[in-house]
Chain A
Amino acid sequence: MSSNGILMNTEDFLAKLDPEIKFHFFTFKWGDKYGPEYVNRLYGSLVKYCDVPFAFTCITDNPDGIRPEVLLLDYNQIGPDSWRAYGQDKIFTREKLCLMDLDIPGTIGWIDLDVLITTEVTSMVTRDFKKPTFILNHWNMDKENSFKWFGKGSDCHVNSSFVMWKDDVAQWLFDYTDKNLEKLMFTYKSLDKYLYYQHWRTDRLAFWEEGLVDNYNFSEPQYEERKEVRITLFNTSHIIIQNMDIEAYELHETEGMWPWDHWVSYDKS
């Protein structure tokens, strides 16, 4: 199946899905923070390191430059109208949860664009998921005072950059969010905080084991390539928003460092 550069609406997209494909990965690209090379290289990394037949879909407002093997879903009509009515300062990236309501059989997941896959992930994505599985920020959790500010609302040890589930085991999360939408939008600025404060606290989520996922800018020591790690995160937006004094890199800023060679090599996958 090829996108031919055409953005599909959700109904057409679901109707055209190949029923033989049991693994469906999604990514989101809207606005101009990341270029199409982020989408193409993420897809290339899955081609190289995910050894099961899969479909890869980009939910976007601009399909320009995205390779034709990547399916395209229209960002501007994803999810219910009631969710789209809120600004981006309310549960930022809440759109991801709408994937849990698509009723696609098999294994489904989303992967953020600023994620670098550096070795096989087949064994991660072919699990029999009983709960939606997220990243826990192990690199922060052992630090002094890492849970001290929970009551203040400023902790956050959940990350939603690489998330997988199977069949309908995540439907409850969409339903819960939809049912409590007004209060949740009022309370939480980001998806990760919402998940941490409402669902990590109540043990409703599963998490990848420590060591599988790393954070290039936050792990100590920083910027190291660790052998056992399969997925490395690069996001810097919260560093900028919180005005943190940390030297941090996005993937496209790593030329001359170890991530760069991996990243650009996926153009050829």
Chain B
Amino acid sequence: MTKVDAWIYTQVTTFSDAETIAIVGPANKRNLYNEFSNIKSFKEVNMYDYDPARSDDKNIINKDVVFDVELHEDLIINYACEKMWPLGEMYKDREFILIGDNEKHNGDCNPIISNKMMVKQNCLEEIWSFNECTRWKGKYFMVYGCN
């Protein structure tokens, strides 16, 4: 499990009140989906990824969470905050685990330069934990809270 996944796993299994979980932008990663799917207190765990290359995976909902669908889950784990409109602007009264990086890749519309930035963008009113770790050329930022 990566450092980021391990941090997410610890936060969710230790602190979360959620019964349903949305995992946004998991790409190839299935660790958390598999782990959470095996925990009985989580009634529903869904993965969302709009890449057509993921459409063959029956566990993926092949939709864009900003433009195509409305998320109904209690906890939203967003692996790709640097690539999208802040979900906390769209969804209120949810738990959020927000992950973003500052590497400014081609295609990043929202490079994340701090945890404070993600807190502000997503209108988080309570912060339960935060962290950061090194990435290839930059850093991952990680925040857990609710709005």
Please tell me if A189 contacts chain B, counting CB pairs below 8 Å: yes
Are B51 and A151 closer than 8 Å at their CB atoms? Answer: yes
Are B53 and A151 closer than 8 Å at their CB atoms? Answer: yes
Q: How many residues of B contact A (CB 8 A)?
A: 21
Task: Give Cα A152 to B107, complex, Å.
Answer: 6
Are A183 and B105 closer than 8 Å at their CB atoms? Answer: no
Please tell me if A260 contacts chain B, counting CB pairs below 8 Å: no
Please tell me if A153 contacts chain B, counting CB pairs below 8 Å: yes
Are B51 and A150 closer than 8 Å at their CB atoms? Answer: yes
Task: Give Cα A14 to B105, complex, Å.
Answer: 43
Please tell me if B37 contacts chain A, counting CB pairs below 8 Å: no
Please tell me if A13 contacts chain B, counting CB pairs below 8 Å: no
Looking at chain A, what size class is its interface with the partner chain?
10 to 19
Are A183 and B106 closer than 8 Å at their CB atoms? Answer: no
Q: Mark A10-33, 1 if CB is under 8 A from B, else 0.
A: 000000000000000000000000
Q: How far is the CB of A180 from chain B (nearest CB, A)?
A: 7
Please tell me if A186 contacts chain B, counting CB pairs below 8 Å: yes
Are B106 and A151 closer than 8 Å at their CB atoms? Answer: no
Q: How far is the CB of B144 from chain A (nearest CB, A)?
A: 24
Task: Give Cα A186 to B27, complex, Å.
Answer: 22
Are A201 and B110 closer than 8 Å at their CB atoms? Answer: no
Pairs A-B, 5 closest by C-beta atoms:
A153-B107, A154-B107, A151-B51, A154-B106, A183-B85
With A148-B53, A186-B109, A187-B66 known, 18 other A-B pairs at CB within 8 A are A149-B107, A150-B51, A150-B52, A152-B106, A152-B107, A153-B83, A153-B105, A153-B107, A154-B106, A180-B67, A183-B67, A183-B85, A186-B85, A187-B84, A198-B64, A201-B50, A201-B64, A202-B68
